[in-house]
Structure 1
Amino acid sequence: MNGRIVIVDDEPITRMDIRGMLEAENYNVVGEAADGIEAIELCKTHHPDLVIMDISMPLLDGLKASKKILAEKYAKAIILLTAYSDKENIEKAKKYGISGYLIKPIMEKSLTPMVEVAIATGTKAREYEVSLEKLTKKLSDRKLIEKAKGIIMVEQNLSEDQAYQLLRELSMNKRCPIAEIAEMFVASDD
């Protein structure tokens, strides 16, 4: 399978047509929804690679549902479908981080490349987000350790190396990350 996809459109015929095109290209359609609320619930459950969603739907429109799905990281990418190409919706789509925008009627020759690119860019963006989160955590831990070393140096009259060695020994003896030990020193100093 090439990717896991949720299709969202209030028109059952449109969903059926899109499903047929996608399955012919070996994509796995993991769910279908008729409105934005159903779309959010399906994405919470399946965490698809891609959501293909109509903008104009009852209850909760595609733009609002897309904003929620992307903000909560329930899907890697979203392609919006619309019968109209109005500037306001295009601007909102760009602002929310939408990966693609297709005008109905959908043609297989335009859908397949758009799906492929959207899944690839969504996957790459998610990899970058994970890397950024890891780096941010490392930086935060490093700052915490440095602050704890400073506190230990002052309180126990130790050199920087000695303070760090103390943190490492405590970490090993207590079998917990050095950042957790450092956090205890910093919290107790507040």
Structure 2
Amino acid sequence: MKNSIVVVDDDPIIRMDIREMLEEEGYAVAGEAKNGEEAIELVAALKPDLVIMDVKMPVMNGIKASRIIRSLHDTETSVLLLTAYSQKELVQDARSAGVAAYLVKPVSEEDLIPAVEIALSQKERIDSLKKDLEQLKQSIEERKRIEKAKGIVMKTFALDEEEAYRKMRAASMAESIPLIKLADGILKDGPQRWFGS
């Protein structure tokens, strides 16, 4: 099975048609909803890769629901909107709500599947960028801690920057631990525990 998808439309026949088209292509339809409120609840519970959602629905429309779904911090769900209209205003609203793509009804399989692929590839790209950003943040954070520990070593042993760094690298190799672990140890226990007095 491919990515998990939630289908949202107030018309059960349209939901059934979309479900069949998706399942024929090997996608897993994780759930269905008939309005925006139900869609938000389902996304929060299931964390699907994609929501295919109608714009005009009772209780809460698709654009408002998209805004809320895109603002949920614990999910990276992509949204594909379905609409009977292709007015400029709607396109602007959809874009500002963070929608990945939209399709004008009636939806055919020839239109749906490529739109689903595009929406999912955007999600993958965003996921990858977020992962890279997290790694970069972690790397910067580690660098700061290493620099702080190096400052302590410089001060404690009256060394210049390069000597302190060499001393830390030698201790890290001798202890068979990553430099960041050594730095954290120096910050926690002081340098004497790692280098003697």
TM-score, normalisation: structure 1? 0.79
Aligned mates of 2:93, 2:115 — CA distance in 1: 19
1:55-74 correspondence runs (5 A): 55-71=55-71, 72-74=73-75
Map Cα deviations across residues 6-58 of structure 1 (whole Å, 9 max, x no partner). 00112222211111111122211010112222212212222212110112223
What amino acid is the match of 2:88? Answer: K
Q: Which residue of 1 aligns with 2:42?
A: 42
**Cα RMSD for the two superposed structures:** 2.9
Contact kept, 8 Å, 1:49 with 1:123, in 2: the verdict is no
Task: Call closer, same or farther: CA 1:91–1:178 in 2, change over 3 Å.
Answer: farther
Q: Are 1:114 and 2:112 counterparts? A: no
Aligned mates of 1:128, 1:18 — CA distance in 2: 30
- Report the identity percentage: 44
1:40-189 correspondence runs (5 A): 40-71=40-71, 72-154=73-155, 157-161=158-162, 163-164=164-165, 165=167, 177-178=181-182, 180-181=184-185
Contact kept, 8 Å, 1:145 with 1:182, in 2: the verdict is no
Aligned mates of 1:159, 1:9 — CA distance in 2: 67
| 5+ residue gaps, structure 1 | 186-190
> By how many angstroms is 1:96 displaced?
3.5
TM-score, normalisation: structure 2? 0.77
Aligned mates of 2:110, 2:156 — CA distance in 1: 70
Q: Which residue of 1 aligns with 2:32?
A: 32
> By how many angstroms is 1:5 displaced?
0.6
Task: Call closer, same or farther: CA 1:73–1:100 in 2, change over 3 Å.
Answer: farther
The structure whose Rg is larger is: 2
Match of 2:148, SS state, is helix
Contact kept, 8 Å, 2:7 with 2:53, in 1: the verdict is yes
Q: Which residue of 2 aligns with 1:188?
A: none
Task: Call closer, same or farther: CA 1:152–1:37 in 2, change over 3 Å.
Answer: farther
